[in-house]
A and B are shown apart, each in its own frame.
Chain A
Amino acid sequence: MRGQAGTLRTVLAPVLLGLGALLIWQLVIVAFEIKPFIVPGPLAIGSEFGENIGTVLQGALVTGGNALVGLVIGGVLGILFAIVAALARVVDELSAAVIAALAVVPIVALAPVLYTMFGAGAETARQLVAAIAVFIPVFINTLRGLRQVRPVHRDLMHVYAASAWQTTRTVTVPGALPFIFTGLRIASSLAVISALIAEYFGGPIGGLGKSITSAASGSNYPLAWAYVLGAIIVGLVFYCVTLAIESFATRHYKPST
């Protein structure tokens, strides 16, 4: 009973707060007669969103699709590369500088170069930008997790005379799962943001990023904001899905003796 009340409160409180904020926003817009090119009201954005739900959805599928491809490619590569780096110290030392360099590159800035490389008609450049953005946090977190093997487990695997690969497969990688998921959770939002921003620099139309720029340049601000709302929802979906997978996969990982 009490648990139910608790859940109700944790759900209800932020919803009420959000609704309150929207109400104040709308009131401020009306009261001060703020022009839509500065900030449109939530009602205007909402109605544009409702009217263009079809195109918003299509744009979300394009941008979300690119982000997903990037997340999968970058995630898989990041995890595999971290495993190799954890197994072979040489790889780790060789790659440390490259990873550090890659981490500070504003990856989206590569987009124009990539468009000329892969052709402006393909989505490849955007997916690649997302993949690179995803790779870094996944790699760094996974590698950290792989180094966190508990001494008792290390002793145990030594006692069993397990090979390096057996140890990696049965203890190190499963043990690093919470860290891998932390990386993926950060990366999931990064993937959406990168795929979206990459659209600003060229490439085919259809995605949310392109729609935002074209609506804004056509002075249709409420519509631009409706697309922004779409982008926020895509980002939230990515985040929540990764979070759900994470809490399922690590459901037994409470500290145990």
Chain B
Amino acid sequence: MSAASTEQSPADGLVTAAVHVTGVDKIFTGKKKATVTALEKIELTVAPGEFVSLIGPSGCGKSTLLRLIADLDTPSTGTVTVFGKTARQARIDQEYGIAFQQAGLLPWRTVSANIELPLELHGVAGPKRKARSAELLALVGLTDFAESYPDQLSGGMQQRVAIARALAESPRLLLMDEPFGALDEMTRERMQTELVRITAETGAAVVFVTHSIPEAVYLSNRVVVMSPRPGRIRDILTVSLGSAAERSDHLREDEAFFTNVSRVRELLHGEAPVGIRGVENR
């Protein structure tokens, strides 16, 4: 059932894919020439406006894949294109916004100055920057904290600032590397609901790395399940839980939600139970 969904992607044809990854391997060479295959034969296409989650146990290369798309690393073989451009060109043209597990705010800048950082670096004029940061602060619900410093905010608020910063240049693609990984469960669920709303409002495509199954299912149009050593895509699952507008907190109680959660769980632990008995390292 899920095998069929692997093939469907509206990317080929008239629309340029937001992300197109073909035949990508990534091999890291460590000390004493020991090599680690982080990724093997990765094929992935993300359509514009689509929300795709990468899920898998630690060491499955999901973060590495995201870093390749962001041009923070280069693939050993294969190609990565973002909106038809090479990953490098897409980075230089600021085709995507990015958020990491750590908010990574500059502690010496106010919240609004942090959001304005990318705009400032790319030569956007002062008044325009101010207007944009005010807009984004309203979007993430932090208008009252514009002049606060990061150390005066909670972890969840800092992460919201980081998301606002990622959205500063209205990118059509958002790359997120476990952005809610360090947050408590309650904050996490609230942030997820907000993210669904934000992506609906901005229409951006999202590649979202996580190791939380409910999070992946709740947020995504498609969930990419990965397996470790070497990092491969085990399967891609299409989750159809309705449009962003229909997705509220009630969805977490929904039958379809649970069905999809268990499908992802089966895929993760599926054929080879590496994840479960990962302790036995030979």
Residues of A within 8 A of B (CB): 150, 152-153, 155-156, 158-162, 166, 170-171, 174-175, 177, 252-254, 256-257
Contact = CB atoms under 8 A, between A and B. Distances in A.
B94 A150 contact: no
Interface in B89-110: 91-92, 94, 98, 100, 102-108
B89 to A, nearest CB: 10
A211 B94 CA distance: 65
Contacts of A152: 100, 102, 104
Given A174-B108, A252-B108, A257 B102 contact: yes
B203 interface: no
Nearest to B159: A257
Contact of A256 (B107, B117, B118): B107
A168 to B, nearest CB: 12
A150 B182 CA distance: 17
B150 A256 contact: yes
Contacts of B150: 252, 256
A58 B158 CA distance: 52
B151 interface: yes
A252 B150 CA distance: 8
Contacts of B108: 174, 177, 252-253
Nearest to A254: B151
A155 B100 contact: yes
A177 B107 CA distance: 11
Contact of B158 (A156, A177, A256): A256
A155 B103 CA distance: 12
Given A252-B149, A256-B150, A256-B158, A159 B72 contact: yes
A7 B256 CA distance: 60
A73 B263 CA distance: 68
Contacts of A150: 102, 104
B104 A253 contact: no
A252 B151 contact: yes
Nearest to B149: A252
Interface string B152-166: 000100100000000
Contacts of A170: 106, 117, 120-121
A150 B103 CA distance: 12
